């Protein structure tokens, strides 16, 4: 019996991981892809990283929910739609049952008691900082999923986050109001009396919450991570996460309605415990959808073992030469400069290892970022005819050394020191006096931005 189970598991593993998706038909390809995604999600959840990120966001949400709603309340009050906050918040907390209405009323009470005008400059700055800290925490969680190491620049974070805080609520409530207005028009009411349009509109009305949630999740997956996310990947992740979120909300509401033991166990703390659980589930579903979008965009990283981008010395050297070559080529031939998205697409790699090499080249003084905060590009600091290949390789080899640990602090061993000196001389002698310009001019094949479909 055990051997039969092991044999079945082995066959299933071979079917899922050994076959090339490009060689399978559409049905088999979809089946294998879904199984691979489920495996990766289960591994991520068991590994604990998504759980930890979701828990961290729950804590930050509790600290920031009142300041966030206070800022949104102030913005919406200028448009005369501030009264719409309570129904939307109540809809979000609906899975908590009667407790959702109580939590909503208390939060709204706290928000109404926040007098932004009497906070003063310091108080208002702290209010904005609390909200921005929440958005920064969200971006960090999504960047982890997309394997992006760096957050946006400080100025970019400030401008983008304020745009989300000030414009986001207006767009959300405008969409909700427009949907409600359309459903209440006279033409819509007449169509409801005509079959099959009446049934179709009723079904559409029930699907509207799903559609709005899916659209919201899709936009979050596109704009929050500090990398370029394809619309197809974001839409698939948003679709799965939106349906999962609505379904989980329904199941959570049924669980609360059918169980009264939690109140007996936790007493007056039950309402807080339920709120924490629902916030945790909501953030976890949002992160799971982002993980699905990542694997849709980068299916090559669905493996039995999580891919860790640990660059060997050889890869760092070669990748640095490729980055400098591409940047130098476009600069020499007066072509548009490369940015991080273009470089990663050209090389077919995720942004993390490419950004790591670009950072090394910037720290070594060979590259500089342009002033475009939304999508900075890279240019050589000096004339490429003065940048020696040997210097680039020396900079890569010394990357990571600092005053706490460097070559001079190692113990002196004469035989090892002599060999290291010979290796350093070889690294200088093999490229000789060749420069980046020589490397660029040695290849006659054009490398244009059109190659990456931009």
The fraction of the chain above a pLDDT of 70, given in percent, is 65
8-state DSSP, 95: G
Q: Are 273 and 261 in contact (CB under 8 A)?
A: no
CA gap 290, 218 in Å, rounded:
9
Q: Is the pLDDT of residue 241 over 80?
A: yes
Mean pLDDT of 156-170: 66
Cβ neighbours for 160, distance < 8 A, ≥ 6 positions apart? 152
CA distance 68 to 27: 45
pLDDT at res. 447: 44
Is 85 within 8 Å of 72 (Cβ atoms)? yes
Model pLDDT for residues 47-66, shown as the tens digit of each residue: 667 888 888 888 888 877 77
- Give 18 or 337, the one with higher predicted confidence: 337
Question: What single DSSP character describes residue 195?
Answer: T
The larger pLDDT score, comparing residue 226 to residue 156, is at 226
Q: Between these two residues, 109 and 321, which has the higher pLDDT value?
A: 321
Neighbours of 381 (CB within 10 A): 15
Buried b / exposed e along 141-170 (16+ C-beta atoms within 10 A): bbbbbbbbeeebeeebbeebbeebbeebbe
pLDDT band (50, 70, 90) for residue 169: low
Is 267's pLDDT higher than 70? no
What average pLDDT score do residues 86-102 get?
Answer: 73
Q: Is the pLDDT of residue 117 over 60?
A: no
Reference 357, options 313, 391, 306; nearest CA is 313
Q: Mean per-residue pLDDT for 167-190?
A: 56
Neighbours of 429 (CB within 10 A): 9
Give the residues across from 379 on adjacent strands: 368
Stretch 8-32: mean pLDDT: 63
pLDDT of residue 81: 56
Is the pLDDT assigned to residue 152 strictly greater than 70? yes
Residue 228 has pLDDT above 90, yes or no: no
User: What's the whole-number average pLDDT of the chain?
Assistant: 75
Q: pTM surpassing 0.85?
A: no
pLDDT greater than 90 at residue 325: yes
So what's the pLDDT on residue 430? 80
Give the pLDDT mean for 126-131. Answer: 74
Question: DSSP state, 339?
Answer: B
Neighbouring C-beta atoms of residue 30, cutoff 10 Å: 12
DSSP percent split of the chain into helix, strand, coil, nearest 5: 75, 0, 20
Supply the Cα-derived Rg of the chain in whole angstroms: 28
Mean pLDDT throughout 25-39? 72
Average pLDDT, integer, range 308-312: 71
DSSP 371: S
Rounded distance between C-alpha atoms, residue 304 and residue 9, angstroms: 14
CA 136 to chain centre: 11
Per-residue pLDDT band at 226 (split at 50, 70, 90) = confident
Has residue 76 got a pLDDT over 50? yes
pLDDT given at position 274 = 79
pLDDT-derived band at 210, boundaries 50, 70, 90: confident
Residue 117's alpha-carbon distances to 122, 127, 180, in angstroms, are 12, 12, 33
Residue 448 has pLDDT above 50, yes or no: no
pLDDT at 328 over 80: yes
What pLDDT is stored for residue 7 in this prediction? Answer: 63
Give ∠ CA 130-132-138 in degrees, rounded to 5: 110
d(CA 213, CA 209): 6
Range 309-329 average pLDDT: 87
- 420: three-class secondary structure by DSSP: helix
What tokens does 148 get? 């992006």
How high is the pLDDT of residue 60? 84
Give the domains, in start order, of the chain with CATH numbers. 2-46 (no CATH), 48-299 (no CATH), 313-452 (1.10.10.10)
């Amino acid at each position: 019996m055990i051997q039969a189970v092991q044999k079945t598991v082995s066959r299933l593993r071979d079917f899922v991981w050994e076959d090339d998706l490009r060689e399978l038909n559409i049905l088999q390809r979809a089946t294998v892809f879904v199984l691979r995604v489920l495996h990766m999600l289960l591994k991520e959840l068991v590994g604990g990283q998504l759980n930890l990120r979701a828990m961290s966001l729950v804590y930050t949400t509790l600290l920031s929910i009142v300041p966030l709603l206070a800022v949104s309340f102030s913005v919406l009050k200028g448009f005369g739609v501030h009264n719409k906050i309570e129904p939307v918040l109540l809809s979000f907390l609906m899975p908590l049952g009667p407790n959702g209405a109580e939590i909503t009323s208390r939060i709204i009470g706290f928000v109404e008691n926040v007098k932004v005008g009497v906070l003063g400059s310091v108080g208002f700055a702290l209010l904005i900082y609390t909200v921005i800290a929440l958005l920064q925490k969200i971006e960090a969680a999504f960047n982890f999923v997309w394997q992006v190491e760096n957050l946006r620049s400080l100025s970019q974070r400030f401008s983008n986050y304020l745009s989300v805080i000030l414009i986001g609520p207006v767009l959300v409530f405008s969409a909700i109001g427009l949907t409600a207005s359309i459903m209440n028009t006279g033409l819509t009411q007449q169509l409801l009396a005509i079959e099959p349009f009446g049934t179709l509109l009723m079904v559409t009305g029930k699907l509207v919450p799903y559609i709005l949630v899916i659209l919201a999740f899709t936009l979050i997956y596109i704009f929050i991570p500090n990398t370029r996310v394809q619309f197809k990947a974001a839409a698939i992740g948003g679709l799965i996460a939106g349906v999962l979120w609505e379904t989980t909300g329904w199941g959570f509401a049924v669980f609360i309605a059918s169980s009264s033991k939690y109140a007996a166990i936790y007493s007056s703390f039950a309402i807080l415990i339920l709120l924490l659980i629902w916030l945790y589930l909501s953030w976890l579903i949002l992160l799971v959808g982002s993980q699905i979008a990542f694997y849709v965009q980068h299916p090559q990283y669905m493996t039995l073992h999580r891919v860790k981008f640990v660059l060997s010395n050889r890869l760092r050297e070669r990748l640095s030469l490729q980055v400098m070559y591409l940047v130098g080529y476009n600069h020499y031939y007066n072509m548009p400069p490369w940015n991080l998205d273009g470089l990663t697409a050209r090389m077919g790699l995720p942004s993390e290892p490419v950004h790591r090499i670009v950072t090394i080249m910037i720290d070594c003084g060979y590259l500089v970022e342009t002033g475009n905060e939304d999508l900075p590009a890279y240019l050589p600091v000096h004339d490429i005819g003065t940048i020696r290949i040997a210097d680039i390789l020396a900079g890569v080899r010394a990357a990571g050394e600092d005053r706490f640990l460097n070559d001079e602090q190692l113990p002196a061993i004469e035989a090892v020191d002599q060999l290291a000196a010979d290796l350093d001389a070889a690294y200088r002698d093999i490229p000789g006096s060749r420069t980046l310009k020589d490397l660029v001019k040695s290849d006659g094949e054009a490398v244009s931005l059109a190659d990456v479909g931009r």
